[in-house]
Amino acid sequence: MGGGQYSFDVAQEARAATSVGGSAGAFNYSGYSGSGVAFKQQVHALLNVYGQQRECMNDQAIVVALDVTRSRGDDAKVVYRKLPALVGWLELHGYLPGTAISFAAIGDAYSDLAPLQVSQWERDNRLDEALSKVWLEEGGGGTGQESYELAAYYYARHTQMQLNQKGRKGYFFFIGDEGYYPHVSATQVQQVLGQSLSKDLPSAEIFRELQEKFHVFLIFPKKSWQDRKADIDAEIAQRVRSAGGRYDAVDVRVSLLWDTRDDLDIHVIAPSGEEISFNNRHSRCGGELDVDRNVSGETREPVENIRWPQGTAPTGEYRVFVQNFRFHEPAPQPVPFRLEVNNHGQVHHFKGVISPHGETGVQSNLAVCRFLFDPKAVAAPADDPYSRYDDRVVLKQWQAVLHPDHILLLDDPEDIIEVMVGAIGLMEQRVNLDGYLAALHREGGHETQRSRIGKAIAALAASVAPSTALRFDDLPLAR
């Protein structure tokens, strides 16, 4: 794969045929409507890696690995819109001519249906087609981590690149703002990739292997804390509110989220011993099950919600368990779920998998948590559900596996392509920092944008011997 030439005219026509920023005609794929089928059938055929290996016969190779969970789903649209510009910099400006590009879309293998989608390496307009078929599932597990390590494992062990045989490395860009899981799961390797792994691997080991084949970077688009917190809370809140449930102004709230048509149920045992569930929706102590979805398997975005309004919850211990009342999917499988507990303003997140062996009803009951509600208590939260999303926490984890100069902090996601190009130009010594910023100016980049980009790649520029870097952009373009 990776032959042919990219036609800028064809690319422009494709984007002109869409609306709103040149990507509205893309990303319409959303997985198969048939539920319960294997992972390999959830993603588009162009991006299906189940039992597959990707190969690159080109002398240059790039991987653009995009986080497509809720917090970062729009980045793929930016890359699609600016893909012709990326190819132009690589080919016409001579930064990395003859390059083939593979796209990866990363989700959460603990909760998403499509945690990893990978395209073939291509060089022509099949790049547009492959990227446009990415399923923007916009899931994520609510843990501050996504399955970046699974993508690293696939490219480290199940891809072949001719350039490695010539002593060269490709370029690999993770684009995301969360952490990775500490281990590559052997179970996920089998379920998602269709490959065999004898035991879990430390993620640090697989990132080291990946860097034997690629120059690996993390492009980290920064967000305000308010925006980040809103992303964390958004999905459960949106589902509860859309279903008519009470999300705010509560003493106690227990919300259950899953992504199949199966009929999962929350059961909460109140301090009085009364059990609140689908067959006892209104308790004598003020609790109510106000949302009960998938009684008939009506949605793949279900939620359940039990809550006590402010001033009504009794003091004492609450116990929560989850039950799979009935499978509605044609092929019953274990069901991942997320559960959020608001206890007097302290929010806690839990996740699990129910029915690992096909259990239903009482046999499937899974105890999730227990907690004490005391309206007079003012103690600090025992667990800060947002701490794992803190930039400092996320970046410290990435710094343990990547060189700090390869972690590029981005003020504006609109600059993803320009920062990527700048990193390649610097690494290849095709240009120095001043030369690249001058080239951006000639291409119409405004001063504020150039300032942002310069800040993002300044440390990298200082580390690649800028005194010897050539300034190819001062030369006429080859036609």
DSSP state letter for 147: S
> Binning pLDDT at 50, 70 and 90, where does residue 230 land?
low
Residue 71 pLDDT: 66
The pLDDT tens digits of the residues spanning 275-319 come to: 999 999 999 999 999 999 999 998 888 999 999 999 999 999 999
Average pLDDT score over residue span 384-389: 59
Q: How far apart are CA 412 and CA 258, in angstroms?
A: 32
Distances (CA, A) of 252 to 116, 142, 196, 266, 412: 36, 20, 44, 14, 38
Find the radius of gyration of the CA atoms of the chain: 24
Give yes or no for residue 36 having a pLDDT over 50.
Answer: no
The structure's pTM equals 0.73
**338 pairs with which residues across the strands?**
257, 351
Q: Specify the range with the lowest mean pLDDT, choosing from 162-176, 380-394, 435-449.
A: 380-394
Q: How far apart are CA 341 and CA 251, in angstroms?
A: 10
Residue 386 pLDDT: 58
> Binning pLDDT at 50, 70 and 90, where does residue 34 land?
very low
% of the chain beyond a pLDDT of 70: 85
Residue 478 pLDDT: 41
Give yes or no for residue 384 having a pLDDT over 80.
Answer: no
Positive or negative, the CA dihedral 120, 121, 125, 127 is positive
Tally of residues, the chain: 479
Residue 388 pLDDT: 63
Give yes or no for residue 380 having a pLDDT over 60.
Answer: no
CB 89 within 8 A of CB 172: no
Residue 22 pLDDT: 52
Distances (CA, A) of 340 to 75, 114, 235, 343, 349: 27, 23, 11, 10, 5
Give yes or no for residue 210 having a pLDDT over 50.
Answer: yes
String of DSSP letters for 370-424: EEEE-TT--PPPSS-TTGGG-HHHHHHHHHTTS-GGGEEEES-GGGHHHHHHHHH
**305 pairs with which residues across the strands?**
255, 291
Average pLDDT score over residue span 385-411: 86
φ/ψ of 100, rounded to 5, equals -105, 145
Give yes or no for residue 269 having a pLDDT over 50.
Answer: yes
Q: How far apart are CA 197 and CA 217, in angstroms?
A: 26
The pLDDT tens digits of the residues spanning 413-430 come to: 999 999 999 999 999 999
Residue 54 pLDDT: 97
DSSP state letter for 60: E
Residue 26 pLDDT: 82
% of the chain beyond a pLDDT of 90: 67
Q: Looking at per-residue confidence, does 217 or 9 come out higher?
A: 217
> Binning pLDDT at 50, 70 and 90, where does residue 224 land?
low
CB 29 within 8 A of CB 134: yes
Q: How far apart are CA 368 and CA 255, in angstroms?
A: 12
CB 358 within 8 A of CB 330: no
Residue 20 pLDDT: 42
All structural domains of the chain: 8-222+390-474 (3.40.50.410), 234-379 (2.60.60)
Average pLDDT score over residue span 172-200: 94
DSSP state letter for 456: H
Identify residue 237 by its one-letter amino acid code.
A
Burial 140-177 (b: 16+ CB within 10 A, else e): bbbbbbbbbbbbbbbbbbbbebebbeeeebbbbbbbbb
Mean pLDDT of the chain: 87
Query: Cα angle vertex 196, ends 300, 160, to 5°?
Result: 100
Q: How far apart are CA 288 and CA 281, in angstroms?
A: 5
The pLDDT tens digits of the residues spanning 231-262 come to: 666 778 889 998 999 999 999 999 999 989 99
